[in-house]
Structure 1
């Protein structure tokens, strides 16, 4: 085991990173020079090739989602690249390996530290930029749809935001595990894009009542689970989509943090309401998830059967443009920053 972070040290002591000096619009993302971080116990230093852009990054930029204690103030929750140094209690053999990693912050930079247990190997021949688009959505969908909602082969699920990074990952995982998936989108074009990606059904929520459509699609039976990032008035409508013993999982509240529900409906149909956030969970928990993913999902990655839906890439220095695209809502799949 290594005792010093001395393997394949970076060739520079400082790096370019994208910071948020003052919260605000996309222009609040400012490239600046930072010291290259040093990996601590159980950590590795990654020379970043690409970093995924996620909705929590936007919320952090707006000042609504501060990093958890001890995490970097640099945004970015997922990276892919090459391990160039390891900290104490990390196998020195990891140096030089291509990995993708879930991080609690620090991804928008030329170098980032990550707990070794939150890294997954990038298979030979797998696009490193695509690999950067995997961790955040994969960890999120797996823990919430497959673990908290415990969906299984033969189930039907409803996922909102049908062309988002989360939903496109959910679509692909449902395809791989024999689960029927219904998504909602805000336009016919996005509905078609979701179907092209693998959704069994896509509902344009601007033109149709998604509750009625779910009932029609399921012949009145409802779905076994709903994965929701909207909240607000979607919650009671989501509950109306659930079959008896159905599970509702909240992962964001983009449409509002409060909702009014009819409690007897939950009792009569034996519904389960749950939810989670990922960023503040412990390294131990995320390591357990990574281990489960390596056994159950990573074989599909190695075979090339699990790839993220890719929207557009931007140079790291143009992170502001990447955020502007995300906020415009025109993207289909993941937006990724590339270190060039």
Structure 2
């Protein structure tokens, strides 16, 4: 395994991060334990979860993933060897997260309630990286095309006030460092400026979707990541399985996320199939597993701190982890760019 610095925290995190959003629904507790055991044995010390998980979000399963991770760390006695990242939900009409049944927003009270509940489920007294899952303000996201701007209006809490609330839980020792997720260039820079101007906690990472079919991070956030030491934690690097080729030509594997939940419309937009087919064909012509080529590309980007992999089977997990040893040559990267210029960002 290889490691990288997480922002300016001084922490060394594995370049491959274990994503856990399937634990507690698509994967059982036993399967989650097996995945964490294998990942840890392979040198992965970076685990990512969220108060929302598992997916799809449901009141009856919410928080289940954190409970499984907490049980595993307690049984294995390895909390001090894991860099643990979780998230607080952004503004949402989902009303099952908070005790009062109110919709979610990033107020001081809700952030405090969220972190205390996560700590309890995770059976730990601190979280290494606490991330805002998505913005409090109204923004187009989760499949909305970021190269087509549409103004969205609605209520929001000021970013400096959100940072002040996060500052409180950092000073109390409940959280060591903070990060963002599903954020825009404006949002990232506003958090950075507010932190500097008011002596508040600095963000150290941005967790956004990034893959061969979604390189929108490069449009503004990549330079911020490099210059401000807020590296990308890339989620959905396989486009939720599409870049493996398993859904080609209308295939619907039994037990796959699409077959179980039919929630993958973000990766079924106009031009997506053509782009996916081109990348899968390129991988096979180069003698590579399509999943490993896709992951190797993400790992090769200079603004990426870690790539978040998720798997529903141990075979998938092993394939994904082994991508760390698949080289991304200049020639292959150029051939990928050539496809990208024809099929640019069909799945933002």
Q: TM-score range by the shorter chain?
A: under 0.3
TM-score, normalization by structure 1: 0.27
More strand by share: 1
- Whichever structure has more helix as a proportion of its residues is 2
> TM-score normalized by structure 2?
0.27
